Amino acid sequence: MNRRHFFRQAATAGVGAAAATALAAPAIAQENPKISWRMTSSFTKNTDILWSAGTDIVGSVKEASDGNFTISPFAAAEIVPGLQAADAVSNGTVEMAHTCCYYYIGKDPAFALGTAVPFGLNARQTNSWFSVGGGNELINEFLAGYNLYALPAGNTGVQMGGWYRKEINTVSDLNGLKMRIAGLAGQVMQKLGVTPQQIAGGDVYAALEKGTIDATEFVGPYDDQKLGFVKVAKYYYYPAWWEGGPAVHAFFNREKFNALPKSYQRMLKDACANANQNMLARYDAHNAKALKQLVAEGAVLKPFSQEILDASYKAAQEVYAELNAKNPAFKKIYDSQQAFKKDGYLWNQIAEYTYDTYMMVQQRKGTL
């Protein structure tokens, strides 16, 4: 081959490669467009485990998209108050939110079933119901009426029963109590004489300190210690029979989510699953140490009495009967959860309960 022929071939090949690159570039850009979203949170930055689940989503999506899909996170009240996050997503003020479904039961009680209901699923059952028990499909069928699409993006595990200014030993001790409590638990507590209050997390300490409320539930030892509740109410009860495994969700504007490239939708789904796992792991890792510190700071740790638990369970069944009779959306989701819960606890008592019980005996003996 002479030199002239060689360079003619090389030039032709170069033109072909450049043309291929020119054709491929728009296709790649179309598949991975530059998109910027905003995410409002119902949580403040000082409740760092709750807040960081949202920033986990932000970081995962940015990394997976090579920086093409970015989400700017905003804490509660930076764009809208924490309890208005769903409205901000629904009306398109922001593209997404990190929040809890049960904050919005004023719109429809069925919202509560997306987070937790009294004597409902524990954390593992909640995750399983959403993932393989049809829960995610049922919740999103309901949320479609609000222009929302949701994915589980956190779980705290079973929570504590809250902080009280006085001892709560009998049902009569609950009468007249003003308590910050969210979701359907407020309706159950109301049947027992409590006046429920829904207050955003960032405002709870001040309300308790000023006596606007007499008691509050929040999450568990790690958050409760950071928020300083032990300084204004020393009686610390357990368990939160109303939150056996509450889910936290990422809410998306349904139209905005559906308009995303499929690859970006997958990134969000994977990022939310990762955040969901991380939140539960962080609480499990930090709650025990925080509980010890709270007791050292003066918290009086007490279980709810059997009388209170039984009365609460009875009241919860009354609430469910009332809602199922008049709210088809609630009944459809509730029936699914109930069926899943029955099988879940059948399995739990066969294996996990007996294992955990044995290990707790060893702990009491000091052999663990």
d(CA 214, CA 180): 8
Q: Cα 351 to the chain's mean position, in Å?
A: 27
pLDDT tens digits for range 66-108: 999 999 999 999 999 999 999 999 999 999 999 999 999 999 9
pLDDT tens digits for range 119-167: 999 999 999 999 999 999 999 999 999 999 999 999 999 999 999 999 9
The pLDDT assigned to 30 comes to: 63
| 22 pLDDT higher than 50 | no
d(CA 34, CA 264): 11
| CA-based nearest residue to 204, from 219, 189, 221, 194 | 219
d(CA 224, CA 230): 8
d(CA 251, CA 87): 10
The pLDDT assigned to 58 comes to: 98
The pLDDT assigned to 19 comes to: 42
Which bin fits 238, alpha (ψ -120 to 50), beta or left (φ > 0)? beta
DSSP notation for 206-240: HHHHHTS-SEE--S-HHHHHHHTGGGT--EEEE--
- The whole-chain average pLDDT of the chain stands at 92
Percent of the chain surpassing pLDDT 90: 84
Query: Residue 112 has which token pair?
Result: 């509560």
Backbone phi, then psi, for 153, in 5-degree steps?
A: -145, 45
Q: pTM of the predicted model, to two decimals?
A: 0.89
